[in-house]
Chain A
């Protein structure tokens, strides 16, 4: 029994020494350890995502031919409409390039789109994240914006070899500047994630709303990205204002909640917009990750 106690005492001392060493260790070692455990889990996450895809495939296979042919017909119509739209947009693009050349306008950052399937969703009061099945091997970098259609989903928080973690719009770490629909002066407001209330769905907060701003009647006001800061392209939808705007403690501005434009926990697929050139914000985020 005494030997057991002595062994335990030695173990506690060893643990205390290890904790001290752990705190003093260079952050790179701790990061390597975290990365190793994340990579260990990556195959399981891929397997999970693929089995979900397989389940969806068999669910779709079980639909009858009539339903499928109706869906195919609808898709063909949509495709025809989109082809027409593409041609119009091509004309607009050419005109845009010509005008930029004439005015010597500095080109906005260009992005490489990487489509990724969602592996798991993770939500707590302190964070809302999704894990996607694409990573460093696919060219994804920390800080890259993540979208679905024209709606902002979030921002890449951490990148591993074949998976990445995305902070959702509603996650407390998310911050972005935005414009409000109906504000003729295009004044900038701030959007940041808020810690979720007990068992409630997470939302984001829109702050620094000008006092004289009034929402458009009959519809919720859209909140769109400004394109400033170089992270998100301009004009993407962050969500809509939750209706009731209220005065902040300072009293000079109003605040409101943001309802994300998509159900963020039901997404199956997202697009990561990887900037072709590294922007300053991204460089800062990478430095943070290596600290």
Chain B
């Protein structure tokens, strides 16, 4: 189904909004609840590559839209991750591997937007390494923790849309 990526993006959006809400509740701590990287994992096992690419671009641009980050700095690398993950689907067959992938993609994507935001705010990144490390660590943990409920939602939507199940080893 050609539009599966769009329906999947719409179904994933409440999770992205939920992450924003959590960020709102903990605003005084300065932590961003970032899950845009983790949303790619389950779809990359089942969707076609071009659909994964569009989903990744959508998730990235949704995050960038309301934040002072250079345009495309998050969305385009997420597209790169989507291409990589959809090429190596065999790596995502087991749950522990999926968790690892979610943590890694989320952490890398978080590192990218943090660096981009520091550049945009004209602040030396080196002076804020502590905060950056904390944010990346938090994104790593959150990526792994959020993957299970995210994957459950996304798999349910893909089942409904008639997307073929992932290949078994």
Determine if B80 is an interface residue (Cβ-Cβ < 8 Å): yes
Selected contact of A34 from candidates B17, B32, B61, CB within 8 Å: B61
Pair B87/A127 contact, Cβ less than 8 Å: no
Question: Which of A30, A195, A197 is packed against the most chain B CB atoms within 10 Å?
Answer: A195
Residue pair A38, B68 in contact (C-beta under 8 Å): no
Complex contact A37–B117 (CB within 8 A): no
Cβ contact within 8 Å between B123 and A172: yes
Q: Is the Cβ of A7 less than 8 Å from the Cβ of B131?
A: no
Contact residues, B114-156 vs A (CB, 8 A) = 114, 117-118, 120-123, 128, 130-132, 134-135
Closest Cβ–Cβ distance, residue A187 to chain B (whole Å): 27
Question: Does B166 lie at the interface of the complex (its beta carbon under 8 Å from any beta carbon of A)?
Answer: no
Q: Of B20, B49, B121, which is within 8 A of A120 by CB? A: B20
B146 → chain A closest CB, angstroms: 18
Known contacts A8-B49, A172-B121, A173-B121; A125/B131 CB under 8 A: yes
Closest to A202 in B: B30
- Complex formed: what's the CA distance from A126 to B72 in Å? 18
How far is A44 from B71 in the complex, measured between Cα atoms in Å? 22
B87 cross-chain contacts in A, Cβ below 8 A: 4-5, 7-8, 11
Q: For A169, what are the chain B residues with a Cβ–Cβ distance below 8 Å?
A: none
Asked if A126 and B24 make an inter-chain contact with CB atoms under 8 angstroms apart, the answer reads no
Total A-B contacts with CB atoms under 8 angstroms apart? 132
Q: How far is the CB of B64 from chain A (nearest CB, A)?
A: 7
CA distance A38 to B134 in the complex (A): 28
Q: A18-B76, A122-B27, A199-B30 are in contact. Are A34 and B71 (CB under 8 A)?
A: yes
A99 interface contact, C-beta 8 A = no
* Interface pair A195/B49, CB less than 8 Å apart: no
Q: Is the CB of B67 within 8 A of A121?
A: no
* A125, B128: Cβ atoms closer than 8 Å: yes
Cβ of B106 to closest chain A Cβ, rounded Å: 15
The answer to whether the Cβ of B38 comes within 8 Å of any Cβ in the partner chain is no
Instruction: Render A31-47 as a binary contact track against B, CB cut-off 8 A, 1 for contact.
Output: 10111011011001000
Contact A33 B24 (CB under 8 A): no
Nearest chain B CB to A193 CB, angstrom units: 9
Which B residue sits closest to A7, measured CB to CB?
A: B49
Q: In whole Å, how far is A153's beta carbon from the nearest beta carbon of chain B?
A: 14
Which residues does chain A contribute within 8 Å of B84, judged by CB atoms? 8
Query: Do the beta carbons of B64 and A37 come within 8 Å of each other?
Result: yes
Q: Which of B62, B64, B80, B123 contacts A126 (CB 8 A)?
A: B123
In the docked arrangement, what's the CA distance between A129 and B65, Å? Answer: 13
A123 to B86, CA, bound (A): 33
- Is the beta-carbon distance between B120 and A8 smaller than 8 angstroms? no
Q: Within 8 Å of chain A (Cβ to Cβ): is B108? A: no
Q: From B115, which residue of chain A is reached at the shortest CB distance? A: A126
CA A122 to CA B135, docked complex, whole Å = 14
Chain B: minimal CB distance from A84 (Å): 39
Q: Check if B29 is an interface residue, CB within 8 A of chain A.
A: yes
In the assembly, what is the distance between CA of A176 and CA of B72, in Å?
30
Q: How far is the CA of A67 from the CA of B118 in the complex (A)?
A: 49
A59-78 interface code vs B (CB 8 A; 1 in, 0 out): 00000000000000000000
Whether B80 pairs with A15 at a CB distance below 8 angstroms is yes
Q: Are B23 and A123 in contact (CB under 8 A)?
A: yes
In the complex, the answer to whether A165 meets B21 with C-beta atoms within 8 Å is no
B contact residues around A196 at 8 Å (CB): 30, 131
Closest to B130 in A: A198
- Which residues from A are CB-within-8-Å of B53? 11, 15
If A199-B29, A200-B30 touch, whether A19 touches B76 (CB-CB below 8 Å) is: yes
Docked Cα-Cα span, A124 to B80, in Å, equals 25
Inside 8 A of B86's CB, which chain A residues have their CB? 8
Apart from the given pairs A127-B67, A198-B130, 6 other A-B contacts in the complex at a CB distance below 8 Å: A18-B79, A33-B71, A37-B62, A37-B64, A40-B65, A122-B23
The 3 A-B residue pairs with the shortest CB-CB distance in the complex, in nearest-first order:
A37-B65, A8-B87, A126-B117
